[in-house]
Amino acid sequence: MMDIRFRRKVKNVARRWNNMDARLKWGILFLVACVYPFLVSSQYYVHIMNLAFIYVVLSLGLNIVCGLAGLLDLGFIAFYAVGAYTYAILSIKLGLSFWEILPIACFTTALFGLLVGSAAFRLRGDYFAIVTMGYGEIIRILANNLTFLTNGPIGIAGIPRPSIFGFKFEDPFQYYFMALAFVAIAVFLTYRFQASRIGRALEAIREDEIAAVSMGVNLKNFKLISFILGAMLGGSIGVFFASYATFVSPESFSFMESVMVLAMVVIGGMGTIEGPVIGALTLVFLPEILRSVSEYRMLIFGALMVFMMIVMPKGFMGWIKPRRILKGAEEENSFVTRNR
């Protein structure tokens, strides 16, 4: 399909990358991210990076649910919406500060995740996915119709910007480092969880529920944990988004957004940590890079996605290092390993 030599070269680089110590690896990336805003010519690119960082955190959150626990969640953006609206409403109506609302929003989204999860986990597989799609829509429709609280389709404008020790976050450049901090925390948390009994239990659930149960994994509790963790990541970055955009409206939280985040996770490679990061950066930057060919932008974008799914059905990281897959794909996997 692809030039073999090129593929080998990429894989070699990737292997070396994989074998590197995780702390060193992420340290390098962090440093690169730190100097990025000083290297680019305009605030615009910093702004795009901020958006990309929002999506990185979102896809890391979804990755816990989809990639680790293997649950197809099509309504993930709802948690993001709950976080964003929590900040918008509490900061305007009650005048609370960003740092006060952040933990509150984490709590409300976790509660929401618990509520939705305990209902949805009565179902499995495709039926579960449909329910998650449903609650994603419910949140958007609620935001549209609870006019007294959310201002309906007009949205909430003039959301106060955060400040710390008298320093006020104003332009994208100032927000950049806060976004980076969110990303760093999300990466760290995912790392911690993946290499703990919780992460392993989630992966065990993805691989084989019956075997997981007989190892002592309480399915319902651990599925809920994955949901709550994902929700908290989504909710906290929702708070950041609301403060960054200073405006929230229901249309930011459409079903397409959920699909977009899912696409990022899938394209990057489910169940890995680098995967969602790569996926989110690619899917945010690609349309920007393709801006020069304006009309054909989405066409090329779509074609690239199709191409990626043909060449790397398990995402970029799965292509370099075949490993994590979603539940129900075992057949395909054994085929791959047999023919490797």
Residues in contact with another protein by CB under 8 A are: 189, 192-193, 195-198, 200-201, 203-204, 207-208, 210-219, 225, 271, 323-325, 330, 333-334, 337
Instruction: Please list, in sequence order, all residues whose beta carbon lies within 8 angstroms of the beta carbon of residue 62, skipping any fewer than 6 positions away.
Output: 73, 76, 230, 234, 261, 262, 265, 276
The DSSP element (H or E) to which 156 belongs, if any, is strand 156-157
Query: 141 or 213: whose CB is closer to another protein?
Result: 213
**Least separation in angstroms between CB 184 and another protein:** 14
**Least separation in angstroms between CB 73 and another protein:** 19
SS3 state of residue 84: helix
**Least separation in angstroms between CB 221 and another protein:** 9
Q: Across the chain, how many H-helices and E-strands are there?
A: 16, 4
Query: 189 or 286: whose CB is closer to another protein?
Result: 189
Query: 43 or 334: whose CB is closer to another protein?
Result: 334
SS3 state of residue 165: coil
SS3 state of residue 217: coil
**Least separation in angstroms between CB 283 and another protein:** 25
**Least separation in angstroms between CB 125 and another protein:** 18
Query: 143 or 201: whose CB is closer to another protein?
Result: 201
Query: 140 or 324: whose CB is closer to another protein?
Result: 324
| Residue linked to tokens 């495709």 | 126
d(CA 216, CA 175): 44
Instruction: Please list, in sequence order, all residues whose beta carbon lies within 8 angstroms of the beta carbon of residue 4, skipping any fewer than 6 positions away.
Output: none
Length of the chain: 340
